[in-house]
Every structure is written in structure tokens, then in C-alpha cells.
Structure 1
Amino acid sequence: MSNSPGDAADDQTGRFVAQPNGRPRPLSPHLQTWRWHITMTASILFRVTIGAASVGAIFVVAWMAAAAFGPDAYSDFLDLAASPLGLLVGFGLTVVLMSFLLNGARHLYNDTGNGLTVKSANTLSAIAVYGPIPLAILFWVALFATGRVSL
């Protein structure tokens, strides 16, 4: 490969590196040009919630299995779910649900061709990042206030 303008040989900017085979290649653009922003956070957190929902699916399967094994097993499962640890897991799964709702709404809105400017994308991403926990808190406050959940 010849050294043409822009290759690693004449690069004064540090944007190129030599591969082990000697060929020049550009550094990843994120190392020079990208700065962290809220849309990146929203994207990463959405992927994290997918993993958390997969773990939550295990609890749903355990709930169905407890129901299938009879009243004693189901009662034991409900006791575990009503424990502080079970309530904490339930709160976490509620955060995951709220994140899915907000991110799903954001993606649905984007799929219509709206919300694609920088300002609106940042606003929608901020709602998807910061909204799930307050919504989950409001949901659990309502559960406790109506007596559906207690400690």
C-alpha cells in the first residue's frame, strides 16, 4: 500500500495508527470527534433494560411454576415476593417496565419521522433516561397508598 496524503506516514494529527501488518488505519472516530451525550446514554440503558427484562422473565416463570406446584408453593412464593428483597426486585422490574414504555414511545415517535432534530432527540432521550425511576416511585407510592402492597 502506498503512502498517499492522509496515510499514517504523513499524518501529523494522530488520527492514523499502523496496524500490526504495517498498514495504516484511522483511529475510531469516537476517540477524536464524539463526545458523550444523552442519546448515547438512552441507547445503552435501553440495552441494559433488555438484559434486566430477561432476568425478570425468570421471576415470571418462577411465579407460574409456584402456581403449578400448588397452594403451598404459591404461598411461599408470595411470602418471598412480599419480603423486602422481593419488593426491591419488584421495584427494579417496575423501573425496567417504565424504561421500556418510555423508550418504546420514543422509538415509536421517531419511527413516524418526528423527533429527529438534535434538540428533540436530546429531550426525548432525557425523558427516557431520567423518567423511569420517578414513574416507578409514583407507581409504588400508589400501590402502598391503596393498600395493595405493605411491608
Structure 2
Amino acid sequence: MTAPNGGLPERPMSPHLQVWRWHVTMACSILHRASIFALYFGALLLAGWAIALASGPDCYAHYMSLVGSPLGKLVLFGVTVMLFFNIAYNVRQTFWDLGYGFLPKTADMTGVVAITFGVVAAVVVWVIAGFTGALS
């Protein structure tokens, strides 16, 4: 179908981030996609660790020095946060699949819980790792 002036018809604009009010469920959706990417990256780090381990002590020592650097520990902490967030988000999603938790206040509250659980659980794991000497 063409417009009366011979060109393409005017099409409605799709809603965008500037149109919608920011809310927790939107942040959870975006964070869930980011967590999937982070977990893929974590799997690559784990595969690199296994390859370094199989390649001998020199290669393993070099890999561990990279992972044990401050930047490497920051990346590993981020992967840990995303792992725990992904677990909490998938539990939340399971309840949604069962038909529960769709009220806006409940959805917002469970989103905050998922984000908080991701951060707090990662901090607890890293504190325990620090006390047991695993971060040395």
C-alpha cells in the first residue's frame, strides 16, 4: 500500500527507552541478558584454565597470574555476581511460569530480591574464599 503522495506510508514509531518509565523488571530483563553473556565468558575462562592446566606448570602459572591480578579478580567477581543473579532470576521465572508473581508490586519486589541476592551471595562467597586463603 502506498501513501497518497506516492511515497511510503507513515509508520508508527516503536516505543523506546526514552518513552518508557524505567523500572526494576526492565533492569532485570537487561541484567538477565548480560548474565547470560557473562556466564558464557566465565565458561571460556574455565576452559582456558583447563587448557592451561593441561599445558604444563609454566602455562598454568602464567594463566593463574593473569586471573589472580586485580583486574582478573574483578572479572571473576562480576561473573560470580552474574551467576547468582541468574540463579535467582530463573527461580523467579519458574514462579512466573506457574502463574505467580505478575502483580506489579510483586514483580518489582522479586526483581529487587534477585539483584540483591546476586550481589550478596557473591560477596559472601568471596569473603569465605578470602578467609580460607583461596584468593592468595
TM range (shorter): 0.7 to 0.9
- What is the aligned partner in structure 2 of residue 147 from structure 1? 133
Aligned residue for 1:116? 102
One-letter identity of the residue aligned with 1:53: L
Q: Provide the alpha-carbon RMSD of the alignment.
A: 2.5
CA distance in 1, matches of 2:19, 2:77: 38
Amino acid at match of 2:51: A
How much does 1:30 deviate?
Answer: 5.1
Equivalent-residue separation in structure 2 for 1:46 and 1:126 (angstroms) = 13
Q: CA deviation at 1:62?
A: 0.8
The alpha-carbon distance between structure 1 residues 25 and 42, as it changes in their structure 2 partners (threshold 3 A), is same
How many pairs were matched up?
133
| Structure 1 pair 56–32 and aligned structure 2 pair: CA distance change class (3 A) | closer
State the TM-score, normalized to the length of structure 2: 0.82
Q: How does 1:18-97 map to 2 (within 5 A)?
A: 21=8, 23-29=9-15, 34-97=20-83
In the alignment, is the contact (CA less than 8 A) between 1:102 and 1:132 conserved in 2?
A: yes
Runs of at least 5 residues in structure 2 that lack an aligned partner in the other structure: 2-6
- Greater RCO, CA 8 A, separation 6+: 2
- What is the SS of the residue equivalent to 2:11? strand
Write the distance in 2 (CA, Å) between the matches of 1:70 and 1:124. 46
Paired position in structure 2 for 1:128: 114
Q: CA deviation at 1:61?
A: 1.6
Equivalent residue letter for 2:110: L
Aligned partner of residue 58 in structure 2, secondary structure: helix
Indicate the percent of aligned positions where both proteins have the same amino acid: 41
Rounded Cα–Cα distance in structure 2 between residues aligned with 1:32 and 1:95: 28
| 1:33 CA drift (Å) | 6.8
- The one-letter amino acid paired with 2:135 is V
CA distance in 2, matches of 1:25, 1:85: 47
Question: What runs of 5+ residues in structure 1 fail to find an aligned partner?
Answer: 2-19
Higher Cα Rg, which structure: 1
Moved segments of 4+, more than 6 Å: none
